[in-house]
Amino acid sequence: MIKHKDTKWMYLVVPFNASTGPLSTLVTLQILALGGNAITVSYVISLGNAVLIPASIIWGFLADRMNRKKQILMSFGGVSVPLILMPLADNVQTLALNYSLALFMSTASTTPFNLLIMESTEKKHWGSLLSRFSFLSSIGMLSGLIASTFLVLFLKMYEIEEVLGFTVLITLILGIKLIPEPVITFERLAIIHHKESFMIRLKHLPLFFLHLPNPHHFKMFSFKRLSMKPINYIPLLYLGLIIFYVSSGIFNTVYPAGLYVKGLDKSEVLAVITVGMIFQIIGFRIAENMLENRDEKKIAYLSLILRGSSYISVGVIALLPLVLPSLFFSLNLLFYPLAAGIAFANFYSSSTTLIFKIVGERSQGRGLGVYSTVVGISLFVGSLLSGYITHYLSYGIDFIIAGLLLLADSLLFRYLEEG
């Protein structure tokens, strides 16, 4: 019988996520300060998204073979180094290298944290401990954004990143003492047989490879399968997720840059992102209750409409001439939290529940491999497209295109809902 051990080690995710949470926004603002533009931002963020695919494969396979504590500590150390070295990144190329390395190493702890919770206590405690872990992770990201919002008033971008790096280094030192050795050892397969663990794992990193997919697995996207009921349900669901993540890449990659270029200062940009994070935490609480009483496909459909219409509203505001910065700031404080907070939380919760039902039935490795591949490629494509759309058209058009994709996606989920 596994005894319920001390779980103080879970509080380490607060400073760790505080250090990684605001990183993409800080890097975006740093690129603009170095003279970069929307295309430069999209290249750097796209590189980071591309790195996530091999990172999730490598660290996932190692999680089945490596000591949990060592892998988590390796992640802490690997994130701290590029952040502490950020003052040396005086050009976009070095900045991109540091950013990608930090992302690569941050993924190393994602799966071991999940497994460590499951290995350190009885199954009846998994749900409550995983919920607490998820809440602490969100608090960490929020605290990092809040701290950055104020620090940017006094420090340069690279100085804030250096502070975050030393924060992770302190977390590493504390982790040596606090992180326990697991009582028993599970492989990653255990995660997909437990709903809460599966959803929290994908929340932190939506890429999960039990083994590498092969070209045969992607035959589900053939025209014949897409057009024939009922076998078109799974490929259409995956297609809906592809559209969602392409849209997210198009919008999220250049959104902080768009706010800055349109007249907001760095602190205001971070404030908008912070409020979005607050509403996301609230949104996940709302989603938990909604999933108990409503169909997942219905929730996904409605959340896509909310997110898409919010994106379009942000785009229209960005296109308006002579908008006062104060009004622009206020309207983004309204629409961005709706999109990135409430709508995202509900879509994520409902769509991940649908994926859990699929991979929990059969062929888990194949299903997760296809899912992870299409998500990774979609994020990369979306972030790469965003730079060119913004550069050759405008930020406003970029945001509107992202919104229109989501509205089209909502029709697909409506079709799935109607069977």
pLDDT at 100: 93
Are the CB atoms for 316 and 162 separated by under 8 Å? no
Last residue in a domain, options 188, 208, 228: 208
**Statement to judge: residues 238 and 334 lie in one domain:** yes
Are the CB atoms for 400 and 315 separated by under 8 Å? yes
**Statement to judge: residues 222 and 149 lie in one domain:** no
Query: What CATH number should be reported for the domain holding residue 15?
Result: 1.20.1250.20
**Statement to judge: residues 192 and 70 lie in one domain:** yes
Determine the angle formed by the axes of helices 38-63 and 68-84, rounding to 10 degrees: 160
Are the CB atoms for 351 and 343 separated by under 8 Å? no
Quote the tokens at residue 235: 């490929």
**Statement to judge: residues 177 and 304 lie in one domain:** no
Tell whether pTM > 0.85. yes
> What are 344-385's pLDDT values in tens digits?
888 888 888 888 777 755 554 556 667 777 888 888 999 999
pLDDT at 4: 45
pLDDT (tens place) for every residue of the chain, 419 residues total? 344 466 788 899 999 999 998 999 999 999 999 998 999 999 999 999 889 888 888 887 887 777 888 889 999 999 999 999 999 888 999 999 999 999 999 988 888 887 787 777 777 767 677 778 888 888 999 999 999 999 999 889 899 999 999 999 999 999 998 888 766 666 566 666 666 666 666 666 666 655 566 666 566 556 666 666 666 777 888 888 899 999 999 999 999 999 999 889 999 999 999 999 999 888 888 887 777 777 788 888 999 999 999 999 999 999 988 788 889 999 999 999 999 889 988 888 888 888 877 775 555 455 666 777 788 888 899 999 999 999 999 999 999 999 999 999 999 888 876 55
Distance CA 116, CA 10 (A): 10
**Statement to judge: residues 320 and 237 lie in one domain:** yes
Are the CB atoms for 60 and 188 separated by under 8 Å? yes
**What total number of domains does the chain contain?**
2
**Summary count for the chain: helices (H), strands (E):** 17, 0
**Statement to judge: residues 182 and 275 lie in one domain:** no
Are the CB atoms for 281 and 142 separated by under 8 Å? yes
Last residue in a domain, options 176, 208, 240: 208
pLDDT at 19: 92
pLDDT at 394: 92
Place of tokens 């005086």: 90
- The gap between the terminal CA atoms of the chain, to the nearest Å, is 45
**Statement to judge: residues 224 and 190 lie in one domain:** no
Residue 274 main-chain phi, psi, to 5 deg: -65, -45
- E strands in 222-290: none
**Statement to judge: residues 183 and 254 lie in one domain:** no
**Statement to judge: residues 124 and 224 lie in one domain:** no
Residue 305: C-alpha distances to residues 242, 293, 412 (Å): 16, 20, 11
**Statement to judge: residues 43 and 141 lie in one domain:** yes
Query: Degrees (nearest 5) of the Cα angle 72, 77, 78?
Result: 95
pLDDT at 368: 65
Are the CB atoms for 225 and 379 separated by under 8 Å? no
Taking CB atoms within 8 Å and a gap of at least 24, the contacts of 330-333 are 332/259, 332/264, 332/272, 333/271, 333/272, 333/275
Distance CA 24, CA 49 (A): 11
pLDDT at 1: 38
Residue 126 main-chain phi, psi, to 5 deg: -55, -50
Taking CB atoms within 8 Å and a gap of at least 24, the contacts of 397-401 are 397/315, 397/319, 398/250, 398/251, 398/254, 398/258, 398/315, 399/251, 399/255, 399/258, 399/311, 399/312, 399/314, 399/315, 399/318, 400/311, 400/312, 400/315, 400/316, 400/319, 401/250, 401/315
Half-sphere exposure for 284 (CA within 13 Å, toward CB): 18
**Statement to judge: residues 183 and 281 lie in one domain:** no
Among 214, 249, 222, 216, smallest CA distance to 238 is for: 222
Range of the domain at 246: 217-419
Last residue in a domain, options 146, 179, 208: 208
User: Pseudo-torsion of CA 144, 150, 152, 158, nearest 10°?
Assistant: -30
Beta carbons within 8 Å of 303's beta carbon, 6+ residues apart: 342, 343, 344, 346, 347, 350
Residue 406: C-alpha distances to residues 16, 231, 285, 371, 385 (Å): 32, 24, 23, 19, 16
Whether the ω angle into residue 22 lies within 30 degrees of 0, i.e. cis, is no
**Statement to judge: residues 34 and 166 lie in one domain:** yes
